[in-house]
Structure 1
Amino acid sequence: MKKNPVFSIACTELKMIFSTPVAWLMLIVFSVMCGLFFTDVFRIYVEGQEAGSSLTFVTEGLFCSDYLGLFPKVQAWLYLFIPLVSMGMLSKDLGSGTVKLLYSSPVSDTGIVLGKFLAMAGYCLAMMAVVAVFAVFGCAAIRNPDVPLVLTGMAGLFLLSCTYSAIGIFMSSLTRYQAVAALATFAVLAGLNYVRLLWQDISWVRDITWWLSISGRCEEFINGLICSEDVIYFITVSALFLALTVLGMSNRRKSRPAAMRAAGYAGVVLCAVAVGFISSNPHLMCFYDSTETKKRTLTRPSQDVMSRVKGPVVMTTYSNILDEEGFYLGVPSRYNSDKEYISQYLRFKPDIKIRYEYYWADSGSKSVKRRFPDLTDAERAERIADVYEMNIDRFQTPEEIARKIDLSGEGYRLVRQIRLKDGSTTFLRVFDDSQRLPQEKEITAAFKRLVDGPVKAGVVTGHGERNIYREADRDYYAFATSKFFRHSLINNGFDVVEVNPGEGIPDDLGILIIADPRTAYTGEELSAIRDYIQAGGNMLIAGEPGREDVLNSIVDGLGVRFDGARIAVPAGDFRQDLVLAGVTDTAVETMPSLDILKRHEYRITMPGATGIEVIPQEGIRADIMLVSDPEGWNELQTTDFENGEASCDSLSGERRGSRNLGVCLQREMPQTGKVQKILVLGDADCFSNAELMRDRYAVRSGNFSLLYEAFRWLTDGKYPVDTSRKGGSDTGFDMEIGSLPLTRWSLVFIMPFVMLVVSAVIIARRKSR
């Protein structure tokens, strides 16, 4: 049977590659580099396990993480190794004159180039075989490894190395000097990494430069996501450079007019661009998430929400050039970055359109006014536009933007508006934290708000309760109405309003919140609150010590009672009235996501708490959620916990023991068929502005988690949206620390030594022939 000439060339070239010391030397050096890096990281993980550290997502950490993963390092090293191997694929033939023999052979130019490429692909497979040794060892050592994640990463590395090879072959076809070919390959690869940063503010150019960029393509594979666009990219770019190589060889063999040669090159490039344009269409993309927990895909609740979004969606970014802290997130050059940012949503809703509106208005930025104290807002905007090299005519005046949308409530800061086909809209904000941009939880909450509507939470006012608009330490602005705090209720599907029970309680309330009333309610107000309770409304009731009379008038008949005494704990690092409440097993049964607080011994910090007595009541189920330390007591004498020291005085009626600090009440309402839910807390400070922002040394606070789970429970799981994911099953190693020296010797020294011996034998046999 006649052998295919393409494979004959490939086999010959592959033998020539492995008959040279340089190729073997690079393979051995590559192996040593992988071994040194891998064993160092492996030792860190195993020592951490021996020290009692809790490990999770070990496969990802060992192979895929940006700083400690092997695959990102290999990706960087391929940039150095591949050009040094591919530099001689055609340049040596041009330099020695053997290219004439190739031209005179019955093999076409396409066959010659494909043969050379297959030889390089064989060398790339050899490099991947080295990586596979570490992958097999790691998966054997890891308990329940995420094998598909490892295989996906290796597939991405192989495709990347083949693409580098195709580029290297093209560069080697342009010169007879191998060093020049290598340097040219380095330059082209650097350009392909950098090109995504060019002309991103020009709408018709940025899509081309973004697609041409090789940067970030392999990272998707390494992180466990196979996207059809990335696969097609590697194939298309490889085919592009191979086709250019074939054209170059053909033009060298046959004399053609310059116009014809240029047309040939242009046609190949245009075909590649066309393929790229088609493959980057979100409607045509296919995906496969190989991670065990599907962390590269939207969670099920998010997918459910997006499946119910009907018609096209327009996401408009309103960017104010005088909003110094947010404007850089909305500049024109970020268009493709924004598409990448919402790429998981585009997978399930590909008809999301991104728009931008630019304007200038006073955002209250002190730094802008400090830098340009003597200028008007218009002049400041013009000066800053010059810095960004943008035309000031592109920016709308305050009057012009006001005719389109009222942004005064957003403080004229960067904000995105999501608009559905039916005209309904909601804002998606950026936040005052290190992440700045909204994450899946906030984005899904915005879409769900449009699809299902918000839940209305009413906060009772009029008797000194916690205020939802003030930023004082004791108040509730942060968790309730702060627009630039990602964890606030209004950014997670709620509308929060103040309610005066004397004027009646709205029928459309989903939750009624009574937080630390200081004075007694009138009979009319109490009647309105009790009517709400009897109608089956859900509630959050939070009290403070010394106000039991007011509180008990509200909870009368619900099977609970505030005892009013302040709980104290033995003297330690903090004030004695700071109670670190523990989560009960019952709490985990009621709110399963609190399991992490229970397992990792988080505490709910309650500065100044009172106990809650549970009184059995027919038809009402009472579940104890939070309890105080058994060493604490009901302090009846000490009032100055800042300067004095309290002690348990049994003669005055003080008793040590654990007390209930959080109780969940549930009862079925026959008239509505629903289950009424009421959460009663013995402290109102645990959700205050100061407490949510406070960080105490050696105290693991779970107040945020309790806040989220409490409102999720009160809304029957509607809000906040649960986008949590289960942990990976790869939680450790089946290897002891004593095996580390042998592991290092085997992977760093013995394996490269075996490769050295094999290379010496192959080269010696080649020379003997």
Structure 2
Amino acid sequence: MGTVMRRLNGWLFALLVLLGALAIGYLSARHAHVADWTYGSRRSMSPETRSALAKLDGPVQIVSYANPQGDLRQTVATFLQRYQQVKPDLQLRFVDPQQDPAAMRNLGITVDGELILHYRDREQRLDVLNERSLTNALERLVRGSDRMLAFVTGDGERRADGDANADLGSFVTQLEQSGMRAVPLNFSQTAAVPEHTDLVVLASPQAPLSAGATKALVDYVANGGNLLWLADPGNQDPSLQPLADALGIHVLPGELIDASSAALGLKDPRMIPLGDYPPSAITRGFTLATLFPEVAPLAEVRKTDWQLVPFLRSSAQATTQSLDGKPVAALKGPLDFGFALSRLSPSPAKSEQRAAVIGNGDFLSNSYLGNGGNRALGERIVDWLLGDDELINMPPRGAPDRVLTVAQGELNLLSISFIVVLPVLLLVIGGLIAWRRRRA
């Protein structure tokens, strides 16, 4: 009887295991669950991509010009499947480029598997299949047409295509990937800002502007043009005074210093860190820390028809100091060094005109762009100036946990643990095991 019961229990156990396996298989075939435990869900679709998809409020059609031979079509379909899960009205269609070579030449298809994204009356091309490039294409669809950014040159300004530490090449490259086009603007070659310019950037001129250049910038602002002015300490150039008067702001003498920055490990008090920001359309919901080296304080000197909102402000511990030995009156913090200006546009082509004046250009330079949220803040500023408000709150790019910062004391502790403690622990355990075996 006992033998029969043991056999029956064994058969029942085997039956339960089989039923459990069948149940798991049934559920897994009908319900998908994926868990990503990496920081910020780095291995899943990024929040930025999800946000871009959410801002496309209509169907998106993607046409892939891929040969039916091989696995390329399956690769494309598998890659886009998770996008379709987030946005069900994203449609994928394949076209065999060999069926009509003449049509492919007219379309400019040169890469097997090249994608063309269609949204409303807009389209974007994609010849590299990864999430970064696809997200950039989605942002360009949201933005619409490419925006033209004119960077003033010829007076020692930071170069938009430069690789030097003080230049803006890395930042501008990122902007171009999201639907902007940077062009030089040299007033020795033109008397006015070209038409169809969406934004003029004046980035820290080192030499006085000519009277013609200043007049062209003042006329551009008077006619409704958008402006980003990056002014470094010592930029109290009289040639720029008419532009400052048109905006109703003044670059104060001296530069900011903040002794409290030493608590964050910054040895130079001219490095101004920010962790919180005055409320504004640019900084709403922005929580990343930013770093501004060598900052010029700004002030509103008179009321104009501009609505002026400060969005960058130092701590209460900040003050000003002289620059290049020139005595200045010490001002106490908090001090503003970033203003967002808006008003009804004088141009009938748009409803609102926008400008931003910042007492620092280094935070967007090649040297400091990677510090904290500098790049993300710069993108927000440009999006706001262009009127692309729906893109301002896009989650920042990049993974925050790619760099492991270890203090010297922690590094010493880790070294001692692996070099001394762990080997000694293994020897002790081995000795205990050998001692017990001898006793047995």
Distance in 1 of aligned mates of 2:311 and 2:135: 25
Per the TM alignment, residue 492 of structure 1 is displaced from its structure 2 partner at its CA by: 0.9
Match 2:126 to one of 396, 403, 428:
428
**1:532 corresponds to:** 220
**1:466 corresponds to:** 158
Question: Is 1:584 equivalent to 2:277 in the alignment?
Answer: yes
**Normalising to structure 2: TM-score of the pair?**
0.69
Question: Is 1:447 equivalent to 2:185 in the alignment?
Answer: no
Per the TM alignment, residue 723 of structure 1 is displaced from its structure 2 partner at its CA by: 4.7
**2:194 corresponds to:** 506
**1:342 corresponds to:** 80
Per the TM alignment, residue 513 of structure 1 is displaced from its structure 2 partner at its CA by: 1.0
Per the TM alignment, residue 613 of structure 1 is displaced from its structure 2 partner at its CA by: 0.8
Checking the alignment, whether the CA contact within 8 Å between 1:538 and 1:677 is kept in structure 2 is yes
Structure 2 segments unaligned to the other structure (5+ residues): 37-44, 99-103, 397-440
Checking the alignment, whether the CA contact within 8 Å between 2:341 and 2:356 is kept in structure 1 is yes
Question: Is 1:614 equivalent to 2:363 in the alignment?
Answer: no
**2:408 corresponds to:** none
**2:384 corresponds to:** 713
Distance in 2 of aligned mates of 1:158 and 1:637: 72
Match 1:661 to one of 337, 340, 345:
337
Per the TM alignment, residue 638 of structure 1 is displaced from its structure 2 partner at its CA by: 6.5
Match 1:702 to one of 370, 373, 379:
373
Per the TM alignment, residue 529 of structure 1 is displaced from its structure 2 partner at its CA by: 0.8
Q: Residue 710 of structure 1: SS of its match in structure 2?
A: helix
Per the TM alignment, residue 608 of structure 1 is displaced from its structure 2 partner at its CA by: 1.2
Checking the alignment, whether the CA contact within 8 Å between 2:298 and 2:359 is kept in structure 1 is yes
Checking the alignment, whether the CA contact within 8 Å between 2:305 and 2:343 is kept in structure 1 is yes
| Identity over aligned pairs, percent | 17
Per the TM alignment, residue 682 of structure 1 is displaced from its structure 2 partner at its CA by: 0.6
Give 1 or 2: higher helix fraction.
1
Checking the alignment, whether the CA contact within 8 Å between 2:294 and 2:360 is kept in structure 1 is yes
Q: Residue 221 of structure 2: SS of its match in structure 1?
A: helix
- CA change 1:534–1:465 in 2 (3 A) is same
Checking the alignment, whether the CA contact within 8 Å between 2:140 and 2:146 is kept in structure 1 is no
Match 2:232 to one of 527, 535, 544:
544
- CA change 1:674–1:445 in 2 (3 A) is same
The code of the aligned residue for 1:418 comes to I
- CA change 1:496–1:297 in 2 (3 A) is closer
**2:407 corresponds to:** none
Q: Residue 342 of structure 1: SS of its match in structure 2?
A: helix
The code of the aligned residue for 1:525 comes to A
- CA change 1:636–1:441 in 2 (3 A) is same
Per the TM alignment, residue 478 of structure 1 is displaced from its structure 2 partner at its CA by: 0.9
Distance in 2 of aligned mates of 1:722 and 1:591: 9
Provide Cα deviations, 1:386-444, integer angstroms capped at 9, x if missing partner.
xxxxxxxxxxxxxxx9999598xxxx9x995526599986443659xxxx642663131
Checking the alignment, whether the CA contact within 8 Å between 1:299 and 1:723 is kept in structure 2 is no
Checking the alignment, whether the CA contact within 8 Å between 2:48 and 2:395 is kept in structure 1 is no
Distance in 2 of aligned mates of 1:562 and 1:297: 36
- CA change 1:415–1:475 in 2 (3 A) is farther
Checking the alignment, whether the CA contact within 8 Å between 1:448 and 1:493 is kept in structure 2 is no
**Normalising to structure 1: TM-score of the pair?**
0.42
Match 1:679 to one of 356, 362, 366:
356
Per the TM alignment, residue 668 of structure 1 is displaced from its structure 2 partner at its CA by: 1.4
Checking the alignment, whether the CA contact within 8 Å between 1:558 and 1:617 is kept in structure 2 is no
Per the TM alignment, residue 680 of structure 1 is displaced from its structure 2 partner at its CA by: 0.8
Match 1:352 to one of 79, 87, 93:
93
Checking the alignment, whether the CA contact within 8 Å between 1:582 and 1:629 is kept in structure 2 is no
**1:595 corresponds to:** 285
**2:434 corresponds to:** none
**1:628 corresponds to:** 314
Per the TM alignment, residue 222 of structure 1 is displaced from its structure 2 partner at its CA by: 4.0
- CA change 1:670–1:492 in 2 (3 A) is same
Provide Cα deviations, 1:101-145, integer angstroms capped at 9, x if missing partner.
xxxxxxxxxxxxxxxxxxx37x756xxxxxxxxxxxxxxxxxxxx
- CA change 1:603–1:303 in 2 (3 A) is closer
Distance in 2 of aligned mates of 1:421 and 1:626: 36
Per the TM alignment, residue 539 of structure 1 is displaced from its structure 2 partner at its CA by: 1.4
Distance in 2 of aligned mates of 1:355 and 1:720: 35
The code of the aligned residue for 1:680 comes to V
Structure 1 segments unaligned to the other structure (5+ residues): 1-15, 28-84, 87-119, 126-156, 164-216, 225-293, 319-330, 358-400, 483-487, 640-648, 695-700, 726-769
The code of the aligned residue for 2:329 comes to G
The code of the aligned residue for 1:717 comes to D
Distance in 1 of aligned mates of 2:392 and 2:286: 18
The code of the aligned residue for 2:151 comes to V
RMSD of aligned residue pairs (Cα, Å): 4.3
Determine which structure has more spread, i.e. the larger CA radius of gyration.
1
Distance in 1 of aligned mates of 2:186 and 2:59: 36
Q: How many residues of Structure 1 are paired with residues of Structure 2 in the alignment?
A: 367
Checking the alignment, whether the CA contact within 8 Å between 2:149 and 2:180 is kept in structure 1 is yes
Checking the alignment, whether the CA contact within 8 Å between 1:428 and 1:438 is kept in structure 2 is no
Distance in 2 of aligned mates of 1:692 and 1:300: 23
Provide Cα deviations, 1:442-492, integer angstroms capped at 9, x if missing partner.
13124346xx31122111111111111111111111111x3xxxxx11111
Give 1 or 2: higher strand fraction.
2
**2:116 corresponds to:** 418
- CA change 1:20–1:628 in 2 (3 A) is same
Per the TM alignment, residue 349 of structure 1 is displaced from its structure 2 partner at its CA by: 3.2
Distance in 2 of aligned mates of 1:476 and 1:124: 60
Q: Residue 683 of structure 1: SS of its match in structure 2?
A: coil
Question: Is 1:475 equivalent to 2:179 in the alignment?
Answer: no
Per the TM alignment, residue 25 of structure 1 is displaced from its structure 2 partner at its CA by: 8.9
Distance in 2 of aligned mates of 1:350 and 1:499: 41
- CA change 1:297–1:519 in 2 (3 A) is closer
- CA change 1:355–1:605 in 2 (3 A) is farther
Question: Is 1:221 equivalent to 2:33 in the alignment?
Answer: yes
TM alignment of 1:56-455, pairs within 5 A: 85-86=17-18, 120=19, 157=24, 159-160=26-27, 220-222=32-34, 299=50, 302=53, 305=56, 307=58, 313-316=62-65, 333=71, 335-346=73-84, 347-353=88-94, 416=114, 418=116, 426-428=124-126, 437-438=131-132, 441-448=135-142, 452-455=144-147
- CA change 1:457–1:520 in 2 (3 A) is same
The code of the aligned residue for 2:194 comes to P
The code of the aligned residue for 1:692 comes to L
